């Protein structure tokens, strides 16, 4: 799209001078001498000028009325007004409608050039943001949930319906790797809030002590190290969507604060004096059964009922293996483009292995496998040995998990222990073996100290720290 400048001016001599000047500056200049002519160009012919330079008072009316009409049609471009009869009321209305500037005639060309250059930079930035948003909207349409199975078709239908209704909250469930993040982006970029921001946070990736500040923000001096003001992620998502992945990892105290924010549509920064109004759609996700955690007292029932205005469960890949026929070529083409490869042939042996695999990591695991196959391929054919698929081994109920060092931890797999009970027993054993030292226990479990410390506090264990 060329850099078009629309000049709306009814004085012939001034119009001719400005046309010559702006053309020398590199603009493609279009002119109009009346509001009716300008209205036809902008609203009927759908001309999209980068900058509009307009006289305020024209023979058939006030140019501010045309600016208001174009803003109601969500037309882009910056408006600059020149007038010899401007008053305070007109200047206030121009700025309220989003005009870039308001200059009085006569105006020196040097100053006019500076203002027009600034308006052009602003319009180009807005155009880039709009084009990026449009690209995201196309990328994250409901059709982005690929698959020919009945399960995939049902998910696409539900996503399409959900993008058309103004739900304040909803919950995405399903095993890890089933595409909850993709579903959240589809709901945002194809929904009514597509023009607003999408803010994503993994609640399991941050220590509990930082989550409150990250979510709600803080004022200077709110805690040790808080040197400046910080807008929290909930506040940053104003007018758009916040995606709370793994919401089940939030502590009960943060769950209570989150519920208050969702209900009241206002928040208070840490150390803040007053509430801040927000308008946010909340999309939560969890690969754990929140209903069971609610019954066990590990998740607040009021928050659970608040975020489950609608619950969308995403199916596991093993339940829709016919979708491999669509997903595999799609991922191969994606990694071909990223790595400059030309892998096109998928042998029958590779297809057989892919269909036989149980895919415990779901679509995320499939992506990783195909990325490896494409990147390590030296020919146009995927080699079966790069799949490196490990057959799923399901221990019998009487078996227990026992490492080779002879100090194994025996966990009954007969249904008598829940996953939380198993986690609690493993952490207890690790603390006992490390003399209640959280750092040493985290090293034994292969996790971070912050993650383990959160679970130590969650289950009420004692430690040296």
Q: Could you tell me which of 79, 71, 72 has the C-alpha nearest to residue 49? A: 79
Q: Would you state the pLDDT for residue 85?
A: 65
3-class SS of residue 331: helix
Does one domain contain both 156 and 298?
yes
Last residue of a domain, one of 386, 408, 443: 386
* Separation of alpha carbons 210 and 131, rounded Å: 35
Is 371 inside a domain boundary?
A: yes
Does one domain contain both 181 and 64?
no
Whichever domain contains 345, its CATH number is 1.10.8.60
Is 376 inside a domain boundary?
A: yes
Domain count within the chain: 4
* Separation of alpha carbons 254 and 369, rounded Å: 37
Is 272 inside a domain boundary?
A: yes
Q: Evaluate whether 339 touches 197 at the Cβ level (below 8 Å).
A: no
- Which residues of the chain register pLDDT less than 50? 1, 393-405
Last residue of a domain, one of 85, 107, 136: 136
Range of the domain at 128: 4-136
Last residue of a domain, one of 255, 287, 313: 313
Q: Identify the H or E element spanning 39.
A: helix 35-39
Q: Would you state the pLDDT for residue 415?
A: 55
Does one domain contain both 342 and 436?
no
Q: Evaluate whether 12 touches 20 at the Cβ level (below 8 Å).
A: no
Q: Would you state the pLDDT for residue 181?
A: 95
Beta bridge partners of 311: 171
Provide the angle, in degrees to the nearest 10, between the axes of the packed helices 438-445 and 419-433. Answer: 120
Q: Would you state the pLDDT for residue 363?
A: 95
Q: Identify the H or E element spanning 29.
A: strand 28-32
Is 396 inside a domain boundary?
A: no
Q: Evaluate whether 217 touches 270 at the Cβ level (below 8 Å).
A: yes
Does one domain contain both 33 and 106?
yes
Whichever domain contains 430, its CATH number is 1.10.10
Is 76 inside a domain boundary?
A: yes
Is 402 inside a domain boundary?
A: no
pLDDT tens profile 85-101: 656 677 777 777 888 88
Q: Would you state the pLDDT for residue 391?
A: 62
Nearest-5° angle of CA 299, CA 177, CA 323? 130
Q: Would you state the pLDDT for residue 408?
A: 66
Q: Would you state the pLDDT for residue 422?
A: 80
Query: In Å, what is the CA distance from 139 to each residue of 73, 128, 154, 186, 187?
Result: 24, 16, 20, 8, 12
Q: Evaluate whether 86 touches 64 at the Cβ level (below 8 Å).
A: no
């Amino acid at each position: 799209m060329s850099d078009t400048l629309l000049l709306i001016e009814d004085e012939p001599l001034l119009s001719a001078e400005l046309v010559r000047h702006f053309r020398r500056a590199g603009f493609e200049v279009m002119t109009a001498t009346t509001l009716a002519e300008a209205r036809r160009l902008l609203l009927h012919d759908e001309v999209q000028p980068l900058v509009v330079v307009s006289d305020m008072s024209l023979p058939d009316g006030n140019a501010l009325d045309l600016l208001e009409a174009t803003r109601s049609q969500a037309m882009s471009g910056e408006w600059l007004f020149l007038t010899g009869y401007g008053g305070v009321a007109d200047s206030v209305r121009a700025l309220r409608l989003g005009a870039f500037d308001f200059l009085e005639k006569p105006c020196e060309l040097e100053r006019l050039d500076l203002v027009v250059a600034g308006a052009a930079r602003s319009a180009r930035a807005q155009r880039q943001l709009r084009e990026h948003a449009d690209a995201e909207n196309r990328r994250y349409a409901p059709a982005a949930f690929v698959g020919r199975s009945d399960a995939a078709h049902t998910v696409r239908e539900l996503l399409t319906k959900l993008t058309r209704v103004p739900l304040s909250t909803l919950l995405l469930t399903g095993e890890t790797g089933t595409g909850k993040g993709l579903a959240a982006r589809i709901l945002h970029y194809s929904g009514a809030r597509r023009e607003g921001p999408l803010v994503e946070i993994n609640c399991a990736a941050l220590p509990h002590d930082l989550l409150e500040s990250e979510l709600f923000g803080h004022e200077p001096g709110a805690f040790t190290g808080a040197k400046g003001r910080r807008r929290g992620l909930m506040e940053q998502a104003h007018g758009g969507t916040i995606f709370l992945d793994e919401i089940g990892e939030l502590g009960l105290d943060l769950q209570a604060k989150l519920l208050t924010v969702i209900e009241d549509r206002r928040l208070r920064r840490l150390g803040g004096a007053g509430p801040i109004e927000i308008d946010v759609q909340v999309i939560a996700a969890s690969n754990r059964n929140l209903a069971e955690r609610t019954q066990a007292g590990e998740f607040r029932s009021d928050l659970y009922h608040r975020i489950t205005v609608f619950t969308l469960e995403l199916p596991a890949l093993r339940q829709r293996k016919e979708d491999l026929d669509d997903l595999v070529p799609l991922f191969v083409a994606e990694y071909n483009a990223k790595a400059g490869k030309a892998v096109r042939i998928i042998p029958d042996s590779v297809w057989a292995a892919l269909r036989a695999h149980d895919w415990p990591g779901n679509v995320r695991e499939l992506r990783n496998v195909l990325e490896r196959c494409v990147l390590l391929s030296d020919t146009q054919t995927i080699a079966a040995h790069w799949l490196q698929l490990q057959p799923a081994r399901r221990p019998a109920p009487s078996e227990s998990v026992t490492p080779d060092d002879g100090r194994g931890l025996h966990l009954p797999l007969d249904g008598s222990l829940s996953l939380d009970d198993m986690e609690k027993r493993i952490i207890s054993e690790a603390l006992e073996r490390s003399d209640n030292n959280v750092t040493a226990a985290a090293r034994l479990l292969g996790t971070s100290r912050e993650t383990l410390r959160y679970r130590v506090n969650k289950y009420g264990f004692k430690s040296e720290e």
